Every structure is written in structure tokens, then in C-alpha cells.
Amino acid sequence: MLCNTFHLTEWGCMKRILVTGATGQIGSELVPALRIRYGSENVVATGHKRSPQKAFVEEGPYTVLDVTDIAALAKIVRDFRIDTIFHLAALLSAVAEQNPQAAWKINMEGLFNVLEVSRENGCAVFFPSSIGAFGPGTPRDHTPQDTIQRPNTLYGVCKVSGELLCDYYFSRFGVDTRGVRYPGLISYETLPGGGTTDYAVEIFYQAIQRKEYTCFLREGTYLDMMYMPDAVRAAIELMEADPRSLKHRNAFNVTAMSFAPEELAAQIHKHLPGFTMHYQVDPVRQAIADSWPRHMDDQAARDEWGWQPQFDLATMTEDMIGHLMKKLG
Ligand code: AKB
């Protein structure tokens, strides 16, 4: 790993890491990966609403943190001499539409607090943006890295504002901010909570336990997706990348596959032949999905920091079913 001085912070030299929203879908897999790489005692996991995984508490530091409490955040950063924050705490798209006020507070105030504390303490910041940062005016196929971003969801408004705020803290204060635009994330460890792409996780549980699933998005709804091991690797590789090769920062398009619900169902059917899929469209989540890209162009991430997904639809499906069969008995 290379180390150098860059603006106010060191880059590629994560030593003491804080993860907010660590008990969520990404955090529950990112924390163990970071602990293996950087040492358990050097990765502080924090969560708020969900109870922590047993291993989080047993294997390394864990503490409760509400990211809207800037004093509590600053104390943790100082007490643990944190140099890098993976800021994952946020409400997802569908739940944000149900409670826009709470979503703005958690998603925007939380990020602002993280950036302020990072400015004061010389921390680098990873901020996950999303396909939700795009909107109905964005080209939906081969969605360019730099394009129209006029989302019509509160979640999307927070993601675009977050990308801009992170860029501002980098150019104005030298805070080493970096981020990716995640597609729908598929994982077997922790369920997502209130997203539009959640069907691609729920379907596996229902296929194994009930042999049928009722999908809330309609046939033909193509969306970008990614398996969690790729998503975790993307976050770590971007934070370890040489900043001299980064022309973009907040945030890189990254994708691994694009499929419609019926294509995922057909893949699952190969492993579980009795599985059937029904549809009952939820108009709110369908409208959100219809405003998002079908397939992003992630060439900038590939060129600037070597992004390369490892799982496609077939390999992800096989791996998910294998793990969930063991987990669900
Ligand atoms: C959601 O569906 O809200 C998230 C996302 C794509 O950002 N999974």
C-alpha cells in the first residue's frame, strides 16, 4: 500500500477506522472485512436502531451512535484517534418516501456532521451514493458517469446533495472524500431495510422457505445490481486507491449486473425447480425504480482505480442459495 501526504489527510493509510450504520446491510459485512484487513481493535463499529451482531461486540470495539449527535460523533473520533470514516448510516429510498423529514435529518444532517468532524480531525470519508442519485431525466442505458442528476425522491435528493457536499469538503477543506454510486445490493447476512431493490434479496428467502414469491416490481424492470462481496471490495479498494489517479471522487458509478425480476426468478428456478413467481406491483416503489438507470456505465471506476466486479447473475445466485440453505436450514 502506498502512503503519501495529500492536502490535510493521509491517503491509503487507514489505521483507525469508524463505521457508522455498521449494523445495516453493508456494515454487517464491511466491518468484518475491515477487521480482517486492518485488525479488529482498529475498526470501531457503531449502530443506532438495530442491535449489534454478537461478533461485533466480541471481536472489536462497538458503540451506540446517533449520527445526528455531532458531539457524540466527535468524542468517538477523538477517543479512538480515528483517521477514516465509512459513513453508512442512512434511510433507504422507500422508507425515505414514507418519512421525508426523518430521511433528511438522518441522511443529510448525519453526513454534514461526519464531514465537519472529519475536517476538524483530519479524517478521510467514504460516502455511499446510489443509483437513486439519478432521476427521470437521466439516460437510463449506459448511464454516463457525468450526466443529468435530477432525482424525484427524497432519498435521491439527499444522495446528490451528499455527493456535492463531499466534493465541496474535498475542494474547499482538503477532506479526502470518496464514494461510489451503489446499485441494488444483494446479500445473505443482513436484510436491507426499506429499499426499492429489496425484492432481489427477499426473493431468495421466500424461494427457499415457501417456494414462491410475490414481487412488488413489474416484469421488465431492469435495474443495476451487485453482490455484497463486490460492494465491500469496491469501498475498500476505492479508499486505498492512489488519489493521483482519481479524476472523479463523489461518486463513481459501479455495477456488476443488470436484470429484471423474471430473469432473477429464472436463475433461481435452475436451483429450486419448484419455485414460482407472482407479481403485485407497489406503485410507489415501481415509480422509484422507473426513475433509476437500467444499466450504468462504470468505465470511470474501472479506469481510475481498477474497479472489476467478480460476481454475475449466475454466480451470485448460486452463492446466495448455497449460503441461505445453510443459514435457513
Ligand atoms: C434502495 O433501493 O433504496 C437502495 C439503493 C439502490 O440505493 N438499495
pLDDT interval class at 95 (50, 70, 90) = very high
Q: How far apart are the first and last CA of the chain?
A: 41
* Tens digits of residue pLDDT in 119-155: 999 999 999 999 999 999 999 999 999 999 999 999 9
Reading the block at residue 94, the C-alpha cell is 422507500
- Coil, strand, or helix at residue 36? helix
Q: Can you tell me the mean pLDDT for 53-59?
A: 83
Cα of 156 vs centre of ligand 1, distance in Å, is: 10
pLDDT interval class at 6 (50, 70, 90) = very low
Query: Mutate which of 158, 186, 196 to test ligand 1's pocket (most atoms within 8 Å of Cβ)?
Result: 196
Q: Which atom of ligand 1 is nearest to the CA of 198?
A: 2
pLDDT interval class at 51 (50, 70, 90) = confident
β-pairing, 295-296 vs 257-259, is: unpaired
Q: Is the pLDDT of residue 302 over 60?
A: yes
Q: Answer yes or no: is the C-beta of 195 below 6 A from any ligand 1 atom.
A: yes
HEC sequence for 288-301: HHHCCCCEECCHHH
Burial class (CB in 10 A: 0-12, 13-18, 19+), 229: middle
Pure H helices in the chain: 27-38, 54-59, 70-79, 93-98, 100-103, 110-121, 154-173, 199-209, 228-240, 261-271, 283-290, 299-305, 313-328
Architecture of domain 17-184+227-253: 3-Layer(aba) Sandwich (3.40)
Q: Which atom of ligand 1 is nearest to the CA of 183?
A: 6
Burial class (CB in 10 A: 0-12, 13-18, 19+), 262: middle
Residues forming the active site: 155
Q: What is the DSSP string of 168-196?
A: HHHHHH---EE-EEE-EEE-SSS---S-S
pLDDT interval class at 7 (50, 70, 90) = very low
pLDDT interval class at 1 (50, 70, 90) = very low
| Cα four-point dihedral sign 243, 248, 250, 253 | negative
* Tens digits of residue pLDDT in 175-228: 999 999 999 999 999 888 899 999 999 999 999 999 999 999 999 999 999 999
Return the CATH fold of 187-224+256-328: UDP-galactose 4-epimerase; domain 1 (3.90.25)
* Tens digits of residue pLDDT in 241-270: 999 999 999 999 999 999 999 999 999 999
- Coil, strand, or helix at residue 9? strand
In angstroms, the CA 267 to CA 264 distance is 5
Prediction ipTM score: 0.98
pLDDT of residue 192: 82
Phi and psi, residue 236, nearest 5° = -70, -45
Q: Is the pLDDT of residue 14 over 80?
A: no
Q: Can you tell me the mean pLDDT for 3-32?
A: 76
Where in the chain is CATH 3.40.50.720? 17-184+227-253
Q: Answer yes or no: is the C-beta of 128 below 6 A from any ligand 1 atom.
A: no
Q: Can you tell me the mean pLDDT for 89-97?
A: 94
Reading the block at residue 181, the C-alpha cell is 454510486
Where in the chain is CATH 3.90.25? 187-224+256-328
pLDDT interval class at 12 (50, 70, 90) = low
Residue 173 · residue 293 · CB < 8 Å = no
In angstroms, the CA 81 to CA 147 distance is 38
Mean residue pLDDT of the chain comes to 94
Chain position carrying cell 454475475: 312
pLDDT over 90, % of the chain: 90
In angstroms, the CA 102 to CA 108 distance is 10
Per DSSP, 136 falls in state T
Q: Answer yes or no: is the C-beta of 184 below 6 A from any ligand 1 atom.
A: yes
pLDDT of residue 272: 97
Distance (Å) of CA 294 to CA 22, 134, 135, 138, 223: 29, 11, 11, 10, 4
